[in-house]
Structure 1
Amino acid sequence: MNISIIVTYNPDDKVLDIINSLLHQNTEIIVVDNCSDNSKIINKVLEIQKDKENINFHKLKKNLGLSKAQNIGIKYSRERNAEFTFFFDQDTKIPNNYIETMIENWNQIDQTDNKIGILGPNYLNPETKEGAKFLILDKNKYKLFKINYGSNEVNNLISSGLMVKNTVFDSVGLMDESFFIDQIDTDFSIRVNDNGYKIYVTANTQLEHCIGETSTKKIFGKVFKTNNHSAMRKYFFIRNSFWTIKKNRLSGPMKVYIAHQIIYTFLTAILFEKNKGIKLIKMGQGFIDGIRYFSKENQKQ
């Protein structure tokens, strides 16, 4: 048995497409809703649930964050003794044979490397029509690459489309609920590696997924991509980036990678995004709260 977790918060019709696709695949579905306001879409989900046995709906009384909602799904998956748990964002577009293809690829990798703990797909940004770049850490540096064929070991994956073997949670633990949203998957990927498991990505299946409302700008021949996230999302990204560095024993290249992400987020928001003022304020608050976490942890040591 496999369980697919879909976390929703004020979703649009795209979530219905994901559900309808998964209903015809080798998986049971749990939708965890973070107290959405748009009852029209949620009511449609409930209508689907009435007619189908392999979908469950769990509505929270308030927005408890992505990581809390994911953990509710993970606990349900483990109670059901599922072998694998899949994670999906509410706006991701998946192929109709996604689950089967991922399991096939997992089994192929497992024949040569039984340390695999996570498998992710290739990603296509539907707005820019570009494929995703994946992180690989060397001893002295990090690099980002696109995958065109086969499967590759990587060091970090985003959660949408993620396939996790449920026994991994026994040693790695669940998602960190203190993060609320953003960098949850980075923290989880780090802990997966630290516990001796490996992370793979396969080019044999692809999801359509974009992070925020992606836009591309060019200055002096240099291309900048910005996600146009809200000011609150900027806050959590900056704060949680510092928390990720502090709570985990990171290699030098991983620290540099996260530091570059922080700088890039500040830079692109200030140069290219709307509502710069409030975003700068929230990012500043995230920076301060991240530093405070450093200080508190240092005082404990």
Structure 2
Amino acid sequence: MVDNNSQNKEVIKSICNDVDVCVFIEIGFNSGIAYALKVGINHAVNHFNCKWILLLDDDTILLEGAIDKAFKIFENLPSLLKNRIGLIALTSVNGDCKIQRVVYGIFSGSIVKSDVAIKACCRDNFFLDQADFDFYAKIRELGYLTLLIKCKLIDHKLGTLLWIPVISNIAGRPLPYELPWRFYYLVRNSSILLKEGKMDFRFYISQIFGWGIKILFKDGFRKFIKPLSLGILHALLNREGFLAPIIFE
């Protein structure tokens, strides 16, 4: 368990102490998800004899029997295919439990071969968004498959649900929303991945439009255009790393 300076870290530490084989690693500041995962994966590989590593965010709930079910599906695959698999993604969407290729997956709910994880994780200069897409791309660059089991094995909600003017009126429901400073990371890091050939243009546009239009209608044009333009500029300049959220207030 890696903690990025959570406000309730003492409670988390206490829970960890009550669980067998739980290690609490305190970073002491908000290092971003990619760096925290790098620390956790390195510790797991160096201190435990594990073949696979399951990555989970603090807002992800693993459903009962999910791991057993995932590995039962994995074991029923042909041996030649099993040897090529580097990552198996669990999802929170209902389905038929068939296994399929996935290109753009998230960290949370990913089961990764430990020797693959140590090589592919993680692009910590991305800080937050799209570091998971880079992770998946690196696994494929190493010659492995990234697959997804298409049935609900975790509970995981992306973003905060808010009523967005106009858009929610059309949709008739609250929609996932991220603040402008998060939109900056999405734009910058997606633009870098696009430059590097790790993201296709159609997906790139759909992401920026899908998240940007919500900020435009909720926060106004200025709070939409600033993270958009700054994100693209920094991508062109190959500038990565942390940027203070106050810049976008």
TM-score bin, normalised by smaller chain: 0.7 to 0.9
Structure 2's unaligned 5+ residue stretches are: 240-249
2:210 matches 1:261: no
User: Under a length normalisation based on structure 1, what TM-score does the superposition of the two structures give?
Assistant: 0.69
SS at match of 1:109: coil
Task: Find the counterpart in structure 2 of residue 290 from structure 1.
Answer: 235
SS at match of 1:93: strand
Matched residues in 2 for 1:44 and 1:110: separation?
44
Matched residues in 2 for 1:183 and 1:115: separation?
24
Task: Find the counterpart in structure 2 of residue 150 from structure 1.
Answer: 98
User: Which residue among 185, 188, 206 is the counterpart of 1:239?
Assistant: 188
Task: Find the counterpart in structure 1 of residue 74 from structure 2.
Answer: 106
1:110-125 alignment to 2 at 5 Å?
111=79, 113=81, 114-124=83-93
Shift of 1:104: 2.1
1:120–1:163 CA contact under 8 A, matched in 2: yes
Matched residues in 2 for 1:249 and 1:285: separation?
21
Task: Find the counterpart in structure 1 of residue 54 from structure 2.
Answer: 86
The answer to which of 94-103 and 274-283 deviates more is 274-283
1:123-134 alignment to 2 at 5 Å?
123-124=92-93
1:150–1:202 CA contact under 8 A, matched in 2: yes
Higher strand share: 1
Task: Find the counterpart in structure 2 of residue 166 from structure 1.
Answer: 114
Task: Find the counterpart in structure 2 of residue 229 from structure 1.
Answer: 178
Shift of 1:186: 0.7
SS at match of 2:67: helix
* One-letter code aligned to 1:288: L
Higher helix share: 2
User: Under a length normalisation based on structure 2, what TM-score does the superposition of the two structures give?
Assistant: 0.82
SS at match of 1:70: helix
Task: Find the counterpart in structure 2 of residue 9 from structure 1.
Answer: none
SS at match of 2:153: strand
Matched residues in 2 for 1:276 and 1:59: separation?
39
Identity of aligned residues (%): 20
Q: What are the superposed Cα offsets for residues 104-142 of structure 1, whole Å, 9 maximum, x if unpaired? A: 222223535121111012224xxxxxx5xxxxxxxxxxx
Shift of 1:66: 0.7
Task: Find the counterpart in structure 2 of residue 200 from structure 1.
Answer: 147
RMSD, matched Cα? 2.8
Report the number of matched residues: 235
Change in 2 beyond 3 A, CA 1:159/1:95: same
